[in-house]
Structure 1
Amino acid sequence: MHIINQELVDRFIEFVHNIKPSDKIAIFYDNDSDGICSGVLMFKALKLLGCTPIIFECAPHDEPKYYEETMKRMSQKGINKVFLLDLVVEQRHEVMKQLEKFAELVIIDHHPFDKNLTSKKTIFIKPPLYVIGINSARYCTSKQVFDLLSHVIDMSQLEWLAVMGIIGDYAFESWPDFLEHCFRKYEIKQEPDIYQTQFGKATRYLNYVRTIDNVEVKKVAEELLQIDDFGTAFSILAKYQRIEKVIEDFIDDYKKHTEEYPEKDLLIVHVQTSYKINSSVATQLSRRRFPTKTVITYYFTDGHVWISGRRQDGKKDMGDLLKKCTKGMTDSNAGGHVPAAGCSIRKEDWPVFKERLIKYSER
């Protein structure tokens, strides 16, 4: 991997160097392991630099008006520096413009994008804008945050957070040297399946937290802020292993909830449970049982449908598929990578979405 836009990296470095203790900082992060680890890394680094953020929140996927409602609160608190991590905010570019009226923004993410939000008030960082030699989807946000902050401060004691972000976003094949170093450093036994290692298990448990709600995600993220070592983090996260049984039980009975279209290599799975295991079920069904099929999972809540798409063989671009299926739909939001993506639509648009999904799922 090589940096091809040092100017962008330098702009980030200068921005962080110039933050003062009097600045009022907000950090917003996604609710998966990559997003959580990104947020914790950023918070810890800023605190080491003497600048403690006053807002540290997980940005929910299932509250369409969240940013608009939060903007008023930020303005009232006098927020003037905002970090948005592992969040696809380009689809809310008008909201970002409103934020620029009272704050400077740093957006760090690795999802595909069709709009560059770079401006005098916004530093917009995505892999294609400054590096070559790596799959952009695999330069996950937590590793970017770790690498970028390493230009400013010694981050070596926080490597375990970057590892969990990498594993959580299935980016481990792109970082063999870094992971080898960390497994040795933390004296963790390696396994053929990285998810069976201590790092892998901790990452799985961290990902399960979001199946409860965003309040629980925020609680765990704030606990991680107080932790300096991986062993303690593992102990805290281990209690979420219980959710694994809920996921496994659902997968064992997946046929009861599934519409299969063999001629389309397509499965549509309704995942309506007490936990929000939609994304986890999609991932596990795709990885373990149907790597050469398109797996779509969904659930209903508050007038919306929340949808996850997975495919492991790369023959279908999940991000592109979901964007095509939601095109022109009011209050829709879609994005992601080739193997994994997600979207939300209004409940009344589900029949049209499903019709498009079947149509576009050609072999």
Structure 2
Amino acid sequence: MIKKFLEFLENIKQKDKTAIIYHTDADGVCSAAITSLALKRLDLTVTCAFSQKSGQITITKDTVNYLKKNNITKVIILDLSVDSNPDTIKNLELFADVLIIDHHITSNDLNTKKTVMIKSQDISDIDPSQYCTSKLIYDLFLQKIDIKDLNWISSIGIIGDFGIKTWKTFLEYAANNNPDSLKNLFDAEEFITYAVMCDGTKGLNLSYDTLLSAKDARDVIKSLEKYNKVRNEIDSYVTSAEKNAIHKNDLNLVYYEIKPIYNIKSKVSNILSSKTYPKKIIIVVQLDKSRNTISARNQTGSVSMNDLMRECTKDLDDANGGGHIPAAGGSIRKQDKDKFKENVIEFLKKEK
């Protein structure tokens, strides 16, 4: 698979128009920044880099049309499980060559003459949920060019995707060989997450641009420090979980519906799962005007959050869900809120 990656790079020419599409989180944006910086060092130009809306994990029709309209000839997709919908990739192949780098469990093999798909499980026995895309793309580019000075960006992505335990030595090396500390790396990840929570795509784009120009994590923190206001809302919902969440001790479940100003469900679920209720299954449902988005966590690994989200959304119209064993997400229609909760409870009863 590494050979296919290198061949894809060799086939990118100066005349090509290259687009990068990445997931709406720290791992996704760090993967995109590493890719863009590495391509620049190879004297290759990135025409555009962007993310789709939160919750859109496959390539949408609008994205395909945008890429075609702008005469894109090379598409690099990062940290998105686009193989769950192969048809959209076939549409891209009509006008572009495609490179997919991802660490989610493989749904369909999309490798063709026009598409190269590399999953972390293709090159390593490390748990795919731990071998996040920002580390995978970093390791792949190292086979072509020296980008060791970008290890701090990869580290931020690792922190964002809960790969800390697996990559502890790598993080320590990055902190010790840059003008950074581990605290700076963790803070940079938090501010990127806050930027996305507060301003969505705008915050993500700012994070991407910041990573491209930053010398280290301190520059990221300085550029994004205005988003510190999100922390107060997160702290408030975390504190209120004991009183306002549904606690089903027989199912080892904390089910929490929130209606915040900012998109904080992932951060709230992360804190509840890692600090407040580390031995329980955490489901945080963020209520919105039209759709509810969901963040599921289980640090013990006793129940797969990927399986839970897939099973509990499969009979709902216009719903999606999936991810990894310890962490997954999804979205449902507003009117399916109660049905989803029933599905979660029934699923966990069967898992007992």
Give the TM-score range, shorter chain.
Answer: over 0.9
Match of 1:194 in 2: none
Picking from 300, 303, 306, the partner of 1:313 is: 300
Aligned to 2:209: 222
Match of 1:44, SS state, is: helix
Where does structure 1 lack aligned partners over 5 or more consecutive residues? Answer: 1-7, 191-196
Deviates more, 1:12-21 or 1:236-245: 236-245
Partner residue, 2:188? 202
Partner of 2:25: 32
Specify the SS of the correspondent of 1:182: helix
* Aligned partner letter, 2:225: A
Which of 237, 240, 253 is the matching residue for 1:266? 253
Instruction: Tell me the residue number matched to 2:142.
Output: 150
Whole-Å separation in 1 of the counterparts to 2:261 and 2:115: 39
Contact kept in structure 1, 2:278 and 2:299, CA below 8 Å: yes
Matched-pair identity in %: 33
- 1:22-63 per-residue CA deviation (whole Å, 9 max, x = no partner) reads 101110111111111000111111122222211210222246
Please give the alpha-carbon distance, in whole angstroms, between the structure 1 residues aligned to 2:104 and 2:252.
25
> TM-score scaled to structure 1, two decimals?
0.91
Retained in 2: the 8 A contact 1:257–1:271? no
Aligned-residue CA RMSD in angstroms? 1.8
**What SS class does the counterpart of residue 253 from structure 1 fall into?**
helix
Amino acid in the other structure paired with 2:86? H
What residue number does 1:139 align with?
131
The one-letter code of the counterpart of 1:92 is N
Cα gap change, 1:46 to 1:28, in 2 (>3 Å)? same
Deviation track 1:58-109 (CA, whole Å, cap 9, x = no partner) reads 2222468972112111111110111110112122221111111111111111
Moved more, 80-89 or 327-336: 327-336
The aligned residue for residue 155 of structure 2 is: 163
Q: Please name the residue that 1:98 is paired with.
A: 91
Q: Does 1:354 pair with 2:346?
A: no
- 8 Å CA contact 2:58–2:80 kept in 1: the answer is no
How many pairs are equivalent?
Answer: 349
Which of 9, 15, 20 aligns to 2:2? It is: 9
1:228 to partner: Cα distance = 3.2
| Post-superposition CA distance 1:140-163 (Å, at most 9, x none) | 100111110111111022111011
Q: Which runs of 5+ in 2 are unaligned?
A: none
| CA apart distance, 1:239 | 2.9
Aligned ranges 1:63-212 → 2 under 5 Å = 67-132=60-125, 134-189=126-181, 197-212=183-198
1:49 to 21, 25, 42: 42
Query: d(CA) in 2 for partners of 1:66 and 1:182?
Result: 33
Q: Is the Cα contact below 8 Å between 1:88 and 1:335 reproduced in 2?
A: no
Q: Which amino acid aligns with 1:244?
A: R
Q: Secondary structure at the match of 2:284?
A: strand
Show CA shifts across 1:263-289 (max 9, x none): 111121112111000111111111111
Letter in 1 for 2:192: L
The 3 A distance-change label for structure 1 pair 113 and 63 is: closer
Q: Give the CA deviation at 1:351.
A: 2.5
What SS does the aligned partner of 1:174 have? coil
Most deviating of 149-158 and 293-302: 293-302
Q: Is the 8 A contact 2:197 2:264 kept in 1?
A: yes
Whole-Å separation in 2 of the counterparts to 1:235 and 1:141: 25
Secondary structure of 2:209's aligned partner? helix
Aligned counterparts of 2:138 and 2:288: Cα–Cα separation in 1: 35
Contact 2:76/2:99 (CA < 8 Å) preserved in 1?
yes
- Tell me the secondary structure at the aligned position of residue 330 of structure 2: strand
